[in-house]
Every structure is written in structure tokens, then in C-alpha cells.
Structure 1
Amino acid sequence: MSSSSSSSSQASSANSGLLYRGVSLAGAEFGEGSLPGTYNTHYVYPNQGEVDYFLGKKMNVARLPFRWERLQPNLNTAFDSTELGRLDTFVVAATAKGMNVVLDPHNYARWYGNLVGSSGLPNSAFADFWSRLAARYKSNPRVIFALMNEPHDMSTETWLSAANAAIAAIRAAGASNLILVPGNAWTGAHSWSQNWYGTANASVMLGVVDSGNNYAYEVHQYLDGDSSGTSASCNSTTIGSERLANFTSWLKTNNRKGFLGEFAGGNNATCQAAIGNMLSHLESNKDVWIGWTWWAAGPWWGSYMFTLEPSGSTDAPQMSWLAPYLP
């Protein structure tokens, strides 16, 4: 379907649906310049009122960004009990209500500035982190493990090795949960087959090894001029499907699955049409796409141009754009 399709036909397509449709609930990853930082000063966890609100909007997944350094202040050691308690409180309450939760270490393949796969952060430490997290949540099928937010400025081969180490650790811990695997270069869908950042994700990331065979590739895609998500503008009404097309084709050719972990648009008519065009593309290709999470909502966004956080009893404008694609 194109962005000009009627809302009724869009809703009909959506209702036959993708598995996961929801939002990133940000806040626990805030204050990256203050690590570990002070809770409720530098960062905050989303609350259950937000979970209830988005469940009421028929969303069924919340992506939860957090910082690895806060959960595990020292490599290869037990998690900080206070921070784990915050994470647990959110996950347990949200999943008990039927919300799926994507655990998202929002670290860009780094820990206190050390790059994963380097001497300061060997793959074994990344595997240890995921082994502990997997052991904690392996009995909860509503928990989804997103390996890492937006790896970048590294070789794609180095990232693949780290990802495979983490996946192996998750499975060795006895967890069968869905795993979301990003690519290099901020895991942009539009650049999946490009090589300006090194060997293309389209080549290297075919090397993902999962003994549980329960994973999907997480990509992010914004619709402004440079795909950075730093502008409220969108290039055109059809830019959504255009920027996803190559990655969708790659998924089909290689019999893989995809998840759109971040996307958004500013409050204007072009972006509204572009978001509809993008989500219609996902629905039309649900043989390879399993879901999406909008960027973002959360208690501290204020007037952020993409926030889905309601203002009192008033929905954010973009919430109505997503409604036709919710069951």
C-alpha cells in the first residue's frame, strides 16, 4: 500500500498484523555524561502509568533503553543490586500486564568508552554481561534481548564476533528468548548494503550464529536528510518505504527477519504521510518484518519533537498516526 491508501484499508492491513508494535520508553539511558550518575537526577526509569497508557492504545511492546555501566559497574561481576532492582521492577510489572519488554543496553558497543572487542572490553566481558542478563530473564518469554544499541565506528567483522559471543552466552544460560541483532554503522536500514563504514552489514551479518534460531535483525531508520533523526523534517511522503526497500529485499533473499527498533517523524503533514508509508511497507512485508518501536516516549522528554508521551489527557499528535497500525 502507498501513503495515499485510505485509513480503513491501512487499518485492515494492520489488524492482520505484525507481532510487535510499540514504543521505546526512554529515561534509564539518560545522563550518559554522568556515569553511573544519580537516580532521579541524571536518569530515571519509565513508570507503569506509561505502560498502562500504551497498552490502552493497543501497543504490545516497550523497548527499554538503559546503560550497561549502571547495571554492571565492574566487568565480569554481579550486577549492582539497586540498579537491577529498578530494572526488575519495570520488567516484572510490565510483562505481568501482557507487555513485551525489549532490553536495550544503550551503549553503542562501548562500556566506559572502551570498544567491545578491544583489550579494554573483550568479547568475553560482553558475553558475561549477557549471560547474567539472560539467566535473570530466561523464564519470562515476554522479555526480548536486544544485544546493543547502534554499534558504530568499528569494523563490522569485530561487531559480528562480539554479537556471536553474546548470543552463544545467552543460549548457554538456557534462554530461548527472541534476540535482536543490530548491524554496524548505527544499524541504519538505508546503509545496510553500503560499505563506507567497512564491510557491508549485508555481507558480514549473514554470519550470525544462533543455536536457538530465534533472532531478528534490528535496524533503525529516520526520515530526515541524513537519516540521523535530528530534524523534525522528512524528505518526502514516500521516503519511509524507499529507505527500507533494500533491507526488506535483503531479508527476503536471505530468509531472515527484521525489526524496526527506532523511527520517528516531526509533527507535520509530510512526516505524517511518510510514517504511514513506512508502516504500510512493514505490514505489506510481514513475511520478513516482525515489528517496530517508535522513538520515543518517557517521563523526561518534555517538548521533544518526537515524543509520544501524552500531555495530561491529550495524546501527542503522532499517536494518531500510529493508531491505524495497531490492532
Structure 2
Amino acid sequence: MVPSRFPAKITLTRLLARWHRSLWSLLFLLVMALFGCATHSETQLPQKGAFEPPYFGVNLSGAEFNTQALPGRYDFDYTYPDVQDVDYFMGKGMTIFRLPFRWERIQHETFDELNQQQLQHIDRLVRHITAKGALVILDPHNFARYYGNVIGEKDLPISAFADLWTKLARHYKNNPNVLFGLMNEPSGMSSELWLEDANAAIAAIRATGANNLILVPGNGFSGASSWFGSWYGTPNAEVLLSIEDPLDHYIIEVHQYLDANSSGTSTTCVEAERLQRFTDWLKTHNKKAFLGEFGAADTPECRQALAKMLDHINANQAVWLGWTWWSAGPWWGSYPFSLQPSNGKDRPQMRLLEHYMQQAKSPSSIQGDQQ
């Protein structure tokens, strides 16, 4: 989510060396040659539990709130959702949860050990979600920054980002239902630098022996509708063709809102095709994607625009793994995109989402080659 995306949201502020990455890539390629590994077109999904793709769910917010207070005080400056929130959304048919948190809270200083209190909160949710067969996406919600410094610039070496993912991967690598979302909405940097950051983190993850699915976002807030744009630098459509994963076990994460500038800062919606060109890019380059954030207010024009986008995803399940709505969590209050039930009642958008989740599971909805 773009910083200051909505007044009701608590405000968000904005390694390995190349030869080392190449060495790990060579080692993994040798292992793949000896023992076999799925190609990217045959992305292996988590095997534990009963749920199968497509995966639909919600962001569970709270741990990323209040970036003026870092690391901050738990349940005062920020919070974590309850397991009861998970149960409610699973009862609606959701099977994947994106968990935003702040890098500064889970690692108070770069290269430190992970903060045990934060791990306990995350572990509580991860255990509850994955024990039920659902998936959880770890989401460092930092916009490619740490205390305001950009990853790979002079005050924040890429090795610090790789270290974060080394430690997270070691902790969660034995749970295949944990997906690694490298970073929320990188921005304010060159696309080439973000690629270097991402490849370093991927190399660090694989060096631990983790084969969890990795979600790789693009630069410029990772918007699907701006995938070919140049306002943020070299288009993601060009740069992200050079992602390096020795296991080739990653997908692209994009975000897409439905207001005029696709920022999610308005309750108005414009019915315009936002995903088609990106979907075509996925098919052309044999890649898959996940819609990590999207949301809209409950208005007639927004319902219409939302329905059109969900129709598109349901019709292209061959390249879309699923989505997570932005957002839910106990501290949203009257935020118009919130999916958190209010006084025990469903939010209006839930009915529409339930319809499309049910539709997606019917055989007639699977039209992966639709243009």
C-alpha cells in the first residue's frame, strides 16, 4: 500500500556480491540437474494441507502501523491480528493471508538476531494458519527501506536485506505453507537497484536450503497497470526478466487499485482495464503472478470495476495464483476498504468477494488461455 494511501490508515513513511550469487546459482543448478526440479511453468505449490489454488484471502494488518514509533510499543503503537480473525475469513472460504510487519520491529538493528517477541506474534499466526492447511505470506512492509534508508544505497547495504531474509528463511524453511514476500512496494530507487536487492535476497534464502515459494514485487510500488511505465525508471517489464532464482520457484507480486491513478487513495473508481497487458506479459514470458493488494469502496462504480477485475483473474487462472484484499485487522475503524467485520457483521465488499471465490472454484471458470 502506498504511504498515506488513505487518511483512516495509520501513516506509512516511506549481499551478497555478484560472484557469490553466481556460485550459489551454479551449485543449485548442479543439484537440479542431478535430482530434478520443476520448471517455472510447473511451479510447485505447498503440499501440506487440503487447499489448492487459486488462493484467495486478505491482508491482516496491524504490525506495520505507526511508522513514527519504531520499533514502538506492542498494542499501543501497533498490534497483530488475532487467530479469531483468521477463523472468520477461513469461514468465508479464504485460504491465504498476507501478514505485513515492519523490518525495524523484527530486527531492531541491521544484522541483529530476529526479535523474539515479534517472532512469537508471527509464529502464533503462522502456526494457526498453516495448521488449517492455509498459506501465509510474510510481508516486510517497508517500501525497500529501513529507518528511511534505501536498500543498496550508502547507509543501507544490500547485505543487510540479505541477512534479514537469511534469518527469516532459516526460521520458516521447514513449513512449505509459508511464502516469502520479499518486500512491500519498492519505490524511490532505480529498477536495476531493486533487481540487485531482490536477487541478493533470493540467493540468501536459497543458501539456507529453503525451497519456499518466493513472491517478487516490482519497482514503482509494483503496480500491474504501471508494469510497462517508465515514470519510476526502467520498466519492470524489462528489468524483472532478469530475476535469478536457482530453483526457479518464484512468482511476481503486483498490486492494483481502482481509482483514477491506481493509488488506492480515493473511494472513487474508474472502470478501466488494469490487468490485461500485465497478464499478456505473464503468458509471453511463462511467468505467474499474485495480486498482493487491491481494494475498493462499496459504491456502484467500484463494485462494477471490482467485478471486472475479478472476472479477469478468474478467467486467467493459468497465470494468476490468487489474491489478497487490502485489508483487514482490528485497528482499521471506518476505513472504507476494510474487510474486518463490524460489530459482528460482514463488510459489504465481502459478499462480492465470496461470489467470485465460489465462481473461481467451478470448472467452467478455468479458462487459462483467455485473451
2-structure distance, mates of 1:281, 1:48 = 31
The reply on whether 1:24 has 2:59 as its aligned counterpart is: yes
Could you say which residue in structure 1 is the equivalent of 2:332? 301
By how many angstroms is 1:18 displaced?
4.3
CA contact (8 A) 1:259 1:292 kept: yes
| Aligned-pair CA distance for 1:98 | 2.0
Where do 1:47-196 residues align within 5 Å?
47-196=82-231
Q: Retained in 2: the 8 A contact 1:62–1:102?
A: yes
For the aligned residue pairs, the C-alpha RMSD in angstroms reads 1.0
How far apart, CA to CA, are the structure 2 residues paired with 1:188 and 1:281? 16
Aligned partners of 1:18 and 1:289 also within 8 Å:
no
Distance 1:42 1:98 in 2: 31
Corresponding position of 2:236: 201
Report SS of the residue matched to 2:318: coil
Q: Deviations over 1:239-294 (max 9, x none)?
A: 2xx11111111101111111101011111111111111111101111111111000
- Read off the aligned partner of 1:177 and give its amino acid letter: N
Over 3 Å counting, the alpha-carbon distance change for 1:262 and 1:60 in structure 2 is: same
SS in 1 for 2:252: strand
What residue number does 1:38 align with?
A: 73
Q: Distance in 1 between matches of 2:100 and 2:218?
A: 17
Q: Secondary structure at the match of 1:102?
A: strand
* Secondary structure in structure 1 of the residue aligned to 2:290: strand
Decide whether the 8 Å contact of 1:18 with 1:283 is kept in 2.
no
Match of 1:214 among 249, 259, 265: 249
Aligned: 1:261 with 2:292: yes
CA distance in 2, matches of 1:19, 1:171: 25
CA distance in 2, matches of 1:36, 1:77: 14
| Equivalent residue number for residue 312 of structure 2 | 281
Equivalent position of 1:271 in the other structure? 302
Distance, in Å, in 1 between the alignment partners of 2:91 and 2:119 is 27
Helix, strand or coil for the counterpart of 1:279?
helix
Structure 1 segments, 4+ long, off by >3 Å, are none
Report the AA paired with residue 261 of structure 1: G
Identical aligned residues as a percent: 55
- In 2, distance between residues paired with 1:196 and 1:113? 21
Rounded Cα–Cα distance in structure 1 between residues aligned with 2:187 and 2:91: 36
Name stretches of at least 5 consecutive residues in structure 2 with no aligned partner: 1-51, 359-371
Distance (whole Å) between structure 2 residues aligned to residue 220 and residue 246 of structure 1: 14
Q: What corresponds to 2:48 in structure 1?
A: none
What do the CA deviations read for 1:276-317 (whole angstroms, capped 9, x no partner)? 111110111111111100000000001100000111331000
| Alignment gaps of 5+ in structure 1 | 1-16
Say which SS state the counterpart of residue 243 (structure 1) adopts.
Answer: coil
TM (norm. structure 2) is 0.81
| Alignment correspondent of 1:231 | 266
The aligned length equals: 307
1:188-246 CA deviation, whole Å, 9 max, x = no partner? 1111011111111000010001111111110000010111101111112xx2xx11111
Q: CA offset at residue 87 of structure 1?
A: 1.3
- The alignment partner of 2:188 has SS state of coil
Distance 2:304 2:325 in 1: 15
Aligned partner of residue 108 in structure 1, secondary structure: coil
Letter in 1 for 2:242: G
Q: Provide the residue aligned with 2:282 in structure 1.
A: 251
Secondary structure in structure 1 of the residue aligned to 2:275: helix
Query: Letter of the aligned partner of 1:309 in structure 2?
Result: Q
